Structure 1
């Protein structure tokens, strides 16, 4: 941890003032003091009007009396306002303060669904609007349409000089202490992921902004924000131009700073920003300071006239996003650049102007503000604000979140190479891209480098859960995008992309053929700060992104098969192919697992084709069947793959001794159970309420498990152990997407997220945290597991099989002999055969041999996990439960989604494209359980098992979580036919029609995703019989929800179709 330690040289005093009361006071003591300049029209040439505090005070009183007349007496109701970007925002806000209304200021740029969401979340009772937004309000639908709406007076009416009763003073004289914890107004988050979230800001929060100009600072140093110019002179000559919308905190700040610190503002006409538009405003108003988003600064840096205007400014503030280095270096020659930073929840962090001119892109925190920079590894630091004695004077975030002990911003920084007090912004945890192999990268700095090219407006690196990155470019608006020669354009910017690649880790670097251009009809969506809405743009370009990755899948690898067939030659040949497929250029070790390094299922198919065609071209008589996909999965390392290729080329049988499947499995079981201690335990006491660890909480089932546990009065606290650092954000987004109450995640006394490394000792947690878990946790639901039906069992050992043993170790050390619930799979018993004539279904008992398990790595790994649990219960009296889960369907709720990439949704989407739907599903039966229902069943079973095992009644138990009733697939087809023109054909005919697609294009793979799973569908279509029936009697005995299940219904299928929206 790094803490600013420079001695504070000045002592500040908090004024503790209220906005509306302070306006009234200034109107009496300095009525002609300038509040700001407001435009007379839609263009700067129409001139600007000076508004003094006497006029502001009158307008606020007029609006307050208007609210009383039209809305009546308030009882803290929330009213929303959609308005033209003008002075009425502050007038209405101050009037609401006086009349006891809570004002909510949503963006005027939201989609209708977002309006419905935030207006519902804020319990808005009235929607006010300005005349300019009348059409916007008329287009609202749903909940937003149902809220009564009312147009407010115009600017001319509010600031009329005519004498009428509306100008009567509206008294409002509470103390700061009375109002400190009352809401002053509400806005919402930027909405970079999911739906926007309302944020309530109090009068105490505004008090911290007031204190910002009075906070102590080192002698001779300047604050980086424009409150550095705060003055007591009523004739102050400084003017601040801010163009940020007033539904955003940074826009409103210009009003607050004028009221609190005598820094009059310039309000721009409500027009889209452009270089010429801003040059006109600068010429007509002559401000001393501007606050501009980096995107417009980058455009203005290309204009000599704009640069000339900048040279007359004291300084420019920019924020919300980094500034391209080339642009900043250029602007820095004309005026001082300052980069304050803050957020909706925090307000503005107190920082200092760096002492060296060239350090304009760095932050130096004011020592008095007490920022902590906490080392998170990889030379990255997170900005953390600790709660200290005087936090509520200066830290707005502890008014927003009054119960927090510290605020973790999720903003990441790197330290200056020479000055330890300077920090450069590196992005957010949210910005981190996690590739399909688990490697992480932060793309922000690379994107800013690329955006430094004059032909590039925006750049977005993409790759979340993909095997490699791609780059989406939005060309500059002055280019005729429809006439762009794409290859020439990419060649032009390629040198800057190469420079950006030097910033990115090798595994995240961008290949030239993985660059695509945005369409002029789909411009990048931006936050009010001017930053790219990463999530929204990814969604808008889903089809194009899928297509470029599909095209990459089809790309031919041109590496010549060597003439020599010795081990080293073939090894180098394979390494070249694999490096080309995965984008990795580093050397591979013979023992490296290729499937954890980015060789996903599509890459394996391509590798199989490449090897097969190369070998066949060499000698058509050779057996290339041994180079099929399944054989490649069975040889997961470079060394094993080399031996396989060598055997095919030399027409040899396997030269490596091969253990039988049963021997491999037995060896792994032995490895993780051999040293289990023998213990004898009796009944044990448990806490009244359970404390639970859940793994994989951000997945589909995990999300509903977490929600169910947090809603359960029998659960005291849940610890979520996840492998990703962004689990909190992903969890929140998952709750929102599924319509679950995200407020449950804010209660730190009920839920805590821990970043873990499964398989490592103590899960990679520090000793104090691990001890805390040992002392409190009495139940673990181990739900995290890789789902891949192609990978061999060896690829599941680290960390998945290791993690089961690590949880057993946890239980052995724990205070309450923690119960381990292992979420397994019916694949562990899908090959079961009755041992006697009397057996008709798979019993809910442990399987003593692997014979009942499907011959696939996934099922085998789950079987090994089951055996570890069984042995831990038998030898060490660790209470364990195995939950064999069948096909998990989508939720029964309207919100949420059955993953559209799974086998059944893939069949449905492909059927729509082919206009044919299979009439049966081969060996598959419809015994599915909705995911939200499954979570409820799981929790009911584990409540029962927790008490049962504590009484030593049964240390180990097995439960089958499949639907007791099987529904015919044909009964669900009408739901599809009701929506789409599809005819019913046999599964074999459907597969044959799909297989007839030759040389599938990128569009084919998008429209017919079943092409990627064709071999899988052929296998289930060719199944001679359906899988065994599973007994569920034990599950039904202990779970009322399980006992009441019925077969999958037509209405459920219709709901899933609604969710997919194919």
Structure 2
């Protein structure tokens, strides 16, 4: 690392103190031409007479002369040298001249402009920007600030700082977060900070417990800047906002939307900022500087930002989910037993944790037991996919300490490399080593198995009380918790019998039995079929499936509301409610609504808090960018499971009085979940939609975005006895819900359709049901939408490329895909074309108006012009680099996936991602093998009202090429 810097800077001389001789000598082996010079001890330097060294240049003449090269920290790669000049350091001298915000204090080097001589402590090394400034520049510019240094041969710690505070009444402390956190843990550590004017930390986030404790006795400030940029001008935070940064109004900082509701700081060097921001001095000719630092806006206080981490810190799991590990690492590492924590997971299916103890335990289990509460606290604050499960934790080795930068930050790259093998072994273990097993016990009956299952499920749902018949997925069970349940089941079953068969313990077991009651019964059947009262089969019978749907339909069609519409004059002004705008289709629908000048207001109702930020970020890549700060658009958080969708009463009243169109697009897309898992939020949400629309003053058109899967098995609902190999599915309601595909997703859509149909037939509800087929990537010029790379088709292509084999021309049948922007256009064309006057004028404005019940109208949004997959295959095969002789049947292709060992190779899921949805492709292969009949969806009604669909034409090769290019093929 040092040799690299010497090479880049063409350094020829090295000055060093005698204490560092052992470090300097190895450099001569790397660069024999180096000339090294041992300097005098400090006491001798102080006593020696310095030669006069005149400097006669004026500032204007000298300001661009280089005087120093510092280097970046190297926390995410090799350190980079940064050349600095006189103008760079004149910024610190000018800090005292910056304007003040009334009632606030500027947070810059002028903080050290003490009225009288006062000591301060700095824990940073001289090669760090903060260390150089506090050791060299501050004492020059702010002469009342007297620097207190730590002993040169010992790294600074909280304990050392506490000892220093016994001898000096410090006015301020400038240190990395880890030292502040250690100081808080020292006896009377917080009490000793009462005399401080401020504590300024730099290098990363400060843990919440430490910051909260310190902010009660002094101002806690976060220094933010980079070697390249210098400090960013900010304001000292109010004590209750100590975690936040607030830029000084004079600072020109662009906060650009990035991933998952975060924003990257962007700086544009500006000659006018020369005396304010060092980047304008270090790089005067640079057009833009991307800091790669991510921030989150304060949820309620405008202008406040919380540092979130580096773009380089972001971990991408094998399923494409991304997360920033830094907040969890900071929180976990604040435990008194630890000096560090590092989270890994790049390319794997879940996150793992390496802990660096202060002293190494003799037993791993009790040590993790003691730490586990703080890990669970970190998990509670992290995204679901970023949680740490107990089986994914290891302890560092005393012989391999974490690598750290000068500011105390763990160097993720080199430390991860040290523990590469240990981390890989964690993922290779089918049964984790450090999990305290929940034992099944010798008694095999339903009572014992239920107790065993209950304890395991509660381990995955810490702090919850779960009824035996409650659906896991309604409670929020995600893929990571599912994996934890599976892991605990394997450990528990093997704890009593080391040779027990556990091959049947899989995600499918949990998906098909998503309650304690059902899972316990399934476990008992697999372990001891004789003890089980009823056999456990894959799925349920068709009769049971239909009965379950019919019971749910009956439940949500009881006591349907009477309409409460008022008589109003006919109005062409359109006021829209749209749900699910953060998804691919929802965003396209929103853009379509914005393009229609007849639309006066758009209320976006989404379940997530940061919907506006996510949509804003998505639309920023369009050309030209689409602005959602349009006065017509508003975003609101909704809970579809509650009456009025959980909206504030004033907002609900406003929407009931104005809404003319409701487009309900939000729905969980998960083909593994059972029907019951869709009930609490989505099916109940449909009934709440019916109730809400009945209370509207207008008679709004309710548009439900359904799926062709709701009727894909149409033949099962007919009694025609036709022997035709082709089924044509009409745009109407089937005779029974058996027409739905046997997946919870399809069944939930079918149930929703029938609830809406009942509402339309017994009230005057104005309902359109649009069944959407396969949505492809957009084709419109400048459209920034993308076909999600984690859907089945791009997964098929990526896996085919890795296998060197691709499914043959029969595998996908006929392609009837519709680009996402065309789907949105078709939806809006159908809505507006069928918007007949919904109210009859009346002489009395409050008179009740009702229209005769009309059945819902059904439309299929699939491509009317189908094209065989076989016609695309040669071009796709060439682009993937696959030979013609490697074209295989779908069944053979799936067979290749079934041979893969996910446990032994972490790259399998990343390079061959189709393995993650293997059941989907198995069903596709089985259909091809059995010669399943072709299905055609009638589009007569949709084409009659939608020119975009009518004129679309078959999928073109150029579209396919663009889609493949967007996925990197």
> Counterpart in 2 of 1:1025?
932
> Counterpart in 2 of 1:800?
682
Alignment CA distance shift 1:427-1:1037 (3 Å) = same
Choose which of 776, 797, 800 in structure 1 pairs with 2:658. Answer: 776
Structure 1 portions without partners, runs of 5+ = 1-40, 64-82, 88-106, 112-130, 134-153, 161-205, 245-267, 293-297, 343-350, 375-380, 386-391, 402-407, 415-422, 480-484
> Counterpart in 1 of 2:182?
326
Alignment CA distance shift 1:975-1:43 (3 Å) = farther
| Counterparts of residues 361-400 of structure 1 (less than 5 Å) | none
For the 8 Å contact 1:832–1:853, the answer to whether it is kept is yes
Choose which of 575, 599, 603 in structure 1 pairs with 2:454. Answer: 575
> Which digits, 9 at most, give the CA deviation of each residue in 1:447-493, with x for residues without a partner?
24516789867756989999xx83566989xx9xxxxx999999999
Q: Distance in 1 between matches of 2:729 and 2:244?
A: 55
For the 8 Å contact 2:122–2:175, the answer to whether it is kept is no
> Counterpart in 2 of 1:186?
none
Is 1:1013 aligned to residue 956 of structure 2?
Answer: no
> Counterpart in 2 of 1:755?
637
For residue 1029 of structure 1, report the CA deviation from its aligned partner. Answer: 0.3
For residue 809 of structure 1, report the CA deviation from its aligned partner. Answer: 1.4
> Counterpart in 1 of 2:962?
1055
3-state SS of paired residue (2:713): coil
Choose which of 439, 450, 474 in structure 1 pairs with 2:333. Answer: 450
Q: Distance in 2 between matches of 1:338 and 1:400?
A: 28
> Counterpart in 1 of 2:6?
none
Q: Distance in 2 between matches of 1:302 and 1:285?
A: 28
Alignment CA distance shift 1:352-1:157 (3 Å) = closer
> Counterpart in 2 of 1:746?
629
Q: Distance in 2 between matches of 1:997 and 1:943?
A: 50
Q: Distance in 1 between matches of 2:648 and 2:922?
A: 49
CA RMSD, Structure 1 to Structure 2 (Å): 6.7
For the 8 Å contact 1:723–1:756, the answer to whether it is kept is yes
> Counterpart in 1 of 2:196?
336
3-state SS of paired residue (1:731): helix
> Counterpart in 2 of 1:663?
547
3-state SS of paired residue (2:534): coil
Choose which of 874, 884, 894 in structure 1 pairs with 2:771. Answer: 884
For the 8 Å contact 1:822–1:881, the answer to whether it is kept is yes
Alignment CA distance shift 1:551-1:716 (3 Å) = farther
TM-score (norm 2): 0.65
> Which digits, 9 at most, give the CA deviation of each residue in 1:345-380, with x for residues without a partner?
xxxxxx9999964785899xxxx9999999xxxxxx
For the 8 Å contact 2:579–2:663, the answer to whether it is kept is yes
> Counterpart in 1 of 2:283?
none
Q: Distance in 1 between matches of 2:827 and 2:558?
A: 30
> Counterpart in 1 of 2:945?
1038
For the 8 Å contact 2:575–2:660, the answer to whether it is kept is yes
Alignment CA distance shift 1:626-1:442 (3 Å) = closer
Q: Distance in 1 between matches of 2:647 and 2:348?
A: 25
3-state SS of paired residue (1:785): coil
For residue 745 of structure 1, report the CA deviation from its aligned partner. Answer: 2.4
3-state SS of paired residue (1:936): helix
| Counterparts of residues 322-721 of structure 1 (less than 5 Å) | 325-327=181-183, 333=192, 336=196, 338=198, 357=217, 410-411=297-298, 444=327, 447-450=330-333, 459=342, 470=351, 497-498=371-372, 500-501=374-375, 503-504=377-378, 510-515=388-393, 560-579=439-458, 582=460, 584=462, 588-597=466-475, 599-600=477-478, 633-646=511-524, 648-650=529-531, 652-653=533-534, 660-679=544-563, 685=569, 687-721=571-605
> Which digits, 9 at most, give the CA deviation of each residue in 1:885-915, with x for residues without a partner?
1112233368554333322222222212211
For the 8 Å contact 2:328–2:379, the answer to whether it is kept is no
> Counterpart in 1 of 2:759?
872
3-state SS of paired residue (1:210): coil
> Which digits, 9 at most, give the CA deviation of each residue in 1:311-345, with x for residues without a partner?
696324689x8985324667875872626899xxx
Identify which range, 977-986 or 1023-1032, moves more after superposition. Answer: 977-986
Q: Distance in 1 between matches of 2:750 and 2:623?
A: 33
For residue 877 of structure 1, report the CA deviation from its aligned partner. Answer: 1.3
For residue 781 of structure 1, report the CA deviation from its aligned partner. Answer: 1.5
For residue 970 of structure 1, report the CA deviation from its aligned partner. Answer: 2.9
For the 8 Å contact 2:731–2:938, the answer to whether it is kept is yes
For the 8 Å contact 2:659–2:700, the answer to whether it is kept is yes
For the 8 Å contact 1:934–1:961, the answer to whether it is kept is yes
Is 1:735 aligned to residue 619 of structure 2?
Answer: yes
Alignment CA distance shift 1:1015-1:427 (3 Å) = closer
For residue 552 of structure 1, report the CA deviation from its aligned partner. Answer: 7.5
| Counterparts of residues 76-475 of structure 1 (less than 5 Å) | 210-212=99-101, 215-216=102-103, 273=129, 279=135, 301=157, 314-316=171-173, 325-327=181-183, 333=192, 336=196, 338=198, 357=217, 410-411=297-298, 444=327, 447-450=330-333, 459=342, 470=351
Structure 2 portions without partners, runs of 5+ = 1-12, 18-38, 40-49, 149-153, 203-210, 224-234, 256-294, 397-401, 841-850
Alignment CA distance shift 1:226-1:618 (3 Å) = closer
For residue 1030 of structure 1, report the CA deviation from its aligned partner. Answer: 0.3
For residue 507 of structure 1, report the CA deviation from its aligned partner. Answer: 9.7
Q: Distance in 1 between matches of 2:427 and 2:212?
A: 49
Q: Distance in 1 between matches of 2:623 and 2:899?
A: 43
| Counterparts of residues 839-918 of structure 1 (less than 5 Å) | 841-892=728-779, 896-918=785-807
Q: Distance in 1 between matches of 2:919 and 2:506?
A: 11
